[in-house]
């Protein structure tokens, strides 16, 4: 059975964007993936308000914290089972596994949740996919994909790229680099940066077996 996913990221606290995400989620999506920067240097309460509003319109919401979110969001456990914090966790969504990694990469200077490559590598070494076919939800994109390209250079994480090359997820859902809205490939892995939701950007994804079909859309 096909799985229909709405991917968003970089909401940055925009309640206008949240209303549009909620309306979009009503279009028969099985899950919403929120790839970080839910708030703009905000609070857990603000993140909970945003995620809860989206969850009213979709069966499941999966998220990771971004570099502009409060550090406590990395370990925050939502009160409802409809919302899942995926940071350093692995779960099943139907027949697909989903794993998550929050925080910004080493070039995320002056923000809240920032990790260097050694920290990313250490965390990823403990992140075991729960099934052969799985998805990685990460705020920071892997190095070298179109999703991390800005200012004529790549600014993603080499540790995340190494993890992708080693484990071969069918999909990496990421954000962080606002200018790098794209659908591209790293080997057999589809990498999607839907663009910042606060600017009305999203991606619609349909997964059937190991086939990923995706389209960049507007909210």
- Domain range spanning residue 20? 3-218
Tens-digit pLDDT profile for residues 150-177: 888 888 999 999 999 999 999 999 999 9
How does residue 78 score in pLDDT terms, banded at 50, 70 and 90? very high
Find the CATH number of the domain harbouring 190.
3.60.21.10
Rounded distance between C-alpha atoms, residue 147 and residue 191, angstroms: 7
From the number of C-beta atoms within 10 Å of its C-beta (0-12, 13-18, 19+), residue 58 rates as buried
Which DSSP state fits 114?
A: B
Domains in the chain, number: 1
Of 213, 202, 208, whose CA–CA distance to 58 is shortest?
202
Tell me the pTM. Answer: 0.97
How does residue 140 score in pLDDT terms, banded at 50, 70 and 90? very high
């Amino acid at each position: 059975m096909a799985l229909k996913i709405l991917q968003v990221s970089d909401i940055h606290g925009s309640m206008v964007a949240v209303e549009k995400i909620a309306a979009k989620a009503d279009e028969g999506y099985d899950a919403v993936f929120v790839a970080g920067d839910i708030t703009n240097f905000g609070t857990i309460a603000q993140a909970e308000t945003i995620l809860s509003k989206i969850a009213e319109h979709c069966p499941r919401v999966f998220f990771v914290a971004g570099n502009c979110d409060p550090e406590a969001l990395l370990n925050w456990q939502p009160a409802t089972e409809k919302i899942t914090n995926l940071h350093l966790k692995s779960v099943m969504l139907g027949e697909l596994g989903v794993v998550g990694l929050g925080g910004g990469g080493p070039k995320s200077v002056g923000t809240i949740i920032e990790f260097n490559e050694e920290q990313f590598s250490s965390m990823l070494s403990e992140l075991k996919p729960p099934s052969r076919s799985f998805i990685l939800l990460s705020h920071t994109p892997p190095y070298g994909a179109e999703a991390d390209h800005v200012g004529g250079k790549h600014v993603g994480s080499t540790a995340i790229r190494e993890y992708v090359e080693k484990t071969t997820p069918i999909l990496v859902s990421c954000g962080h680099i606002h200018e790098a809205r794209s659908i591209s490939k790293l080997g057999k892995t589809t990498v999607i940066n839907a663009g910042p939701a606060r600017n009305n950007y999203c991606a619609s994804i349909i997964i059937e077996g190991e086939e990923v079909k995706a389209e960049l859309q507007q909210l």
